Structure 1
Amino acid sequence: MTSECFQAKLSKMAKSPLPSAHYDLTDLRVFIAVAEEGSVSRGAQRCHLAASTVSLRIKGLEDAIGAALLQRQSRGVGLSPAGHVMLDHARRCVAQLEQMHADLMPFAQGISGHITLFANNNAISTHLPDDLARYLADHPSVRITLTERLSTDIVSAVAQGSADVGVVAVESPHPDLLYLPYRVDHLVVLAPKGSSIAKRRRTAFSDCLQAPFISLQQGAALHTFLMNKASSLGARLDVRVQVSGYRAIARLVDAGVGIGVVPKTALEAADRDRVAVVELTDDWARRDLRVCVRSGTCGANPHLQDLVSLLTYKGEISTSGGFRFSMELQRNAP
């Protein structure tokens, strides 16, 4: 290809019209309705619009995207390959916008503050619900967004400012964060009564790796933690069943499906009657849960200051960001 031909081709490409992206939220809602109903007329009824209006909006959306989104079928319409991709993105866009409105609604109703709290699975499943209920009873105009994350991810989020406060169990504290005692817990093994593991009072994690495990679902903090611990021993967990909570683990252990590792405080009295609870001798089985915050942030946010104070010690947090605590832990108070 000569230099002149190449330049001419580039010039032609530069002048080629690109699809415009002029569409709005109503267009996305209309498209979702038509796609889910499989019919323009039913989609129009769902959106309380005329079928002709819906057809025009779909046509405009296709022009903006630069590809056909719907295909005519014997009964109604179906999605084209591009339509399948569009539907997935449209649903997520609408869901995010709805979540934005839900998050902003309390401000219109007069809430006085919002706190983003990240915590590991252990804290969320045991201690935090009661503590947050107490806090919100005293602070009805505050909203809290509670999200489960791995402890290492929580530390990074708090340090970077994407979370206001975290509840973690970490071995290497971040130098830019303050760490305050919250709770002490222990991981224990649940085993079917009568099994070889159930005959022990204490056991090492390495001695349990030959048994099938009942685990929390992939992505849960404890699941990731235990998989990594097994890997560090040169082994893999034989995960027979994955479930969503500790109650299900206890029930499946009782049924003889396998063994599980859970926080001791997550157990109920009925669990102790049905299954054997065996202590883990590994150092990491002790879980020192701590509240972590960025230095100085509590003084600027009185709602955060009150939450951290409730979760940790009785006392106050000074406006300079330093902490003044009484000697008595709040968790030991009546």
Structure 2
Amino acid sequence: LLHHARAVQNQIEAMAGDLAAYADGLRARVRLLANTAATSELLRDILPAFLVAHPRIDIDLDERPSHEIAQAVASGAADLGIAATWAGLSHLEQKPFFIDRLVVIAARNWPRFAGLRTISLSEILGESFVGLSTGHALQEHITRQAARLGGHLHVRIRVPGLDNVCRLVAQGAGIAIVPESAARRSARSLRSLRLTDDWATRQLNLCARRFDELTPQAKLLAAALV
């Protein structure tokens, strides 16, 4: 019991120190929401470089579906968001981030896809899938699209992170739908097919209620993102 009490006390003291730093203006925190594809890209290069360049700025990055991102930014629950334009961003100010294309990946020796370069979701609903863990924005998006076709995905395993998905697919555990950028990183071990459904190509935009009303720290992050 004494051990747990000391642990709680240490946590409280650490939180108090963090709060004091923010109150004194020594540190600042920016709240950023992004969908799965954007989160994957952000964590690769952009955010690490930003954090190194700005040691007094902290970032709360959370992965959400695009429609939730739009709502959170509009309500002020997040400073910045990166979301697909289909989610209804017209009430927010926007700047282009990148075009996200979803592709189907399979092991190079996956017999079903021999000779194919494109495919639709309806053609692969009977396949076994490797999926992202429950709660991932991309997985929820794909599941909704399958439901609209009157089907569902047979997910053999759910794993955290796109790199893990690609690794299992390359070993023949199933197929998956991932952002093209993720498939490209594992191109040597995967077969990639363009997904022909309209929803598979998405313009992702950086959004805010008003960019000119952001805190100085959030403005710095916005500039780094676009």
* Shorter-chain TM band: 0.7 to 0.9
- In the alignment, which residue of structure 1 is the partner of 2:167? 251
Aligned letter for 1:134? A
SS at match of 2:86: coil
CA distance 1:215–1:300, shift in 2 (3 Å): closer
Bigger radius of gyration among the two: 1
- In the alignment, which residue of structure 2 is the partner of 1:161? 76
Deviations 1:182-212 (CA, angstroms, capped at 9, x unpaired): 0112111111223212431111111111101
Equivalent of 2:51 in 130, 136, 141:
136
Cα RMSD after superposing both structures: 2.7
Deviations 1:51-105 (CA, angstroms, capped at 9, x unpaired): xxxxxxxxxxxxxxxxxxxxxxxxxxxxxxxxxxxxxxxxxx99x9688547526
2:42 matches 1:127: yes
- In the alignment, which residue of structure 2 is the partner of 1:63? none
Displacement of 1:179 after TM fit? 1.4
- In the alignment, which residue of structure 2 is the partner of 1:309? 223
Structure 1: distance between partners of 2:218 and 2:172: 45
CA distance 1:205–1:156, shift in 2 (3 Å): same
Aligned 8 A contact 1:191 1:258 in 2: yes
Aligned 8 A contact 1:190 1:261 in 2: yes
Deviations 1:8-48 (CA, angstroms, capped at 9, x unpaired): xxxxxxxxxxxxxxxxxxxxxxxxxxxxxxxxxxx246647
- In the alignment, which residue of structure 2 is the partner of 1:34? none
Equivalent of 2:132 in 216, 220, 227:
216
Aligned 8 A contact 2:70 2:87 in 1: no
SS at match of 2:101: strand
Aligned 8 A contact 1:191 1:198 in 2: no
Give the alignment of 1:166-185 within 5 angstroms.
Answer: 166-185=81-100
Q: Indicate the percent of aligned positions where both proteins have the same amino acid.
A: 35
2:137 matches 1:230: no
SS at match of 2:168: helix
The number of residues matched between the two structures is 225
Aligned 8 A contact 1:214 1:239 in 2: yes
Aligned letter for 1:206? S
Aligned letter for 1:104? L
Aligned letter for 1:283? D
Q: Which runs of 5+ in 2 are unaligned?
A: none
Aligned 8 A contact 2:183 2:190 in 1: no
TM-score, normalised via structure 1 length: 0.61
- In the alignment, which residue of structure 2 is the partner of 1:291? 206
CA distance 1:108–1:206, shift in 2 (3 Å): same
Aligned letter for 1:311? L
Structure 2: distance between partners of 1:198 and 1:97: 58
More relative contact order in 1 or in 2 (CA 8 Å, sep 6+)? Answer: 2
Displacement of 1:162 after TM fit? 0.6
Displacement of 1:175 after TM fit? 3.6
CA distance 1:108–1:303, shift in 2 (3 Å): closer
- In the alignment, which residue of structure 2 is the partner of 1:204? 120
TM-score, normalised via structure 2 length: 0.88
Aligned letter for 2:117? R
CA distance 1:243–1:300, shift in 2 (3 Å): closer
Moved more, 226-235 or 172-181: 172-181
Displacement of 1:109 after TM fit? 7.6
Displacement of 1:268 after TM fit? 5.0
- In the alignment, which residue of structure 2 is the partner of 1:188? 103
Aligned 8 A contact 1:213 1:260 in 2: yes
Structure 1: distance between partners of 2:183 and 2:20: 37
Deviations 1:264-311 (CA, angstroms, capped at 9, x unpaired): 112354x2121211111111111211101002x534522222221221
